[in-house]
Amino acid sequence: MKLVFLGPPGVGKGTIADMLKEKVNLMKLSTGDLFRENIKQNTGLGKKANEYIKEGKLVPDDVTIDIVKDRIQRKDNYLLDGFPRTVPQAEALETFAKIDYVVNFKANDKEIIKRLSGRRTCPSCKSNFNIQTLPPKSEGKCDNCNSKLIQREDDKPEAIKKRLIVYKQQTEPLIEYYKKKKILVEVNAEQIPEKVFQDTLKALKL
């Protein structure tokens, strides 16, 4: 099965992707995680991506498309978390993959801002927590690997504003794009993660 998870930043795509990966044999490819890993290792790609990410902008299409193409070509089961994010990316994806379903996770702006500003991330195992809605068992520490949790640079107020604008301008048009292709399913993401997960399984007939 080939899936795309679509939705505004902070809607919980990554959390649901991790839950789904446990249940179904899928490779999860998060372009955001991939860029952050490269930034951490200070690679050429990381340096380039960081110029955009730290300002809440999108990394250019050509850079992003090549990376995704390279990782998923000839693979059968995967979930793309955070790709495509622009119409040109979606058009490019069509040339090298036949996606079965695109899941659109929906939540209002107020909820998104609350989630992004409260999000704390584990730099080691990439688990996400939220100081308001999903706090770690021990304050500031990852439940899974005990590393010190951090707030992503782009989860700070100025970058959040920018990311939401970018989402509306560049990514939201993909909802119509995939509706027309008749592969879009929608899930209400303003619920607790377990319920969002159950609704996702239903939407995907799993």
Considering CB under 6 A, how many residues would be counted as binding ligand AMP?
17
- Listed residue (115, 131, 75, 89) closest to 196, CA to CA: 115
Question: Pattern 94-123, binding to ligand AMP, x per CB under 6 A?
Answer: ------------------------------
Q: Annotated catalytic sites, by residue?
A: 13, 85, 119, 152, 163
Task: Please tell me whether residue 5 binds ligand AMP under the rule CB under 6 A.
Answer: no
> Which residues have a Cβ under 8 Å from the Cβ of 205 and sit 6 or more positions away?
none
List Cα–Cα distances, 94 to 64, 87, 88, 89, 178, in angstroms.
Answer: 14, 11, 10, 9, 11
Of 79-87, 102-110, 141-149, 182-190, the window that binds ligand AMP (rule: CB under 6 A) is 79-87
Instruction: Kindly identify the residues of this chain, within the stretch 23-42, that bind ligand AMP according to CB under 6 A.
Output: 31-32, 35
Can you tell me the distance from the alpha carbon of 92 to that of 95, in angstroms, rounded to the nearest whole number?
A: 5
Of residues 32 and 136, the one with the C-beta less far from ligand AMP: 32
Task: Please tell me whether residue 16 binds ligand AMP under the rule CB under 6 A.
Answer: no
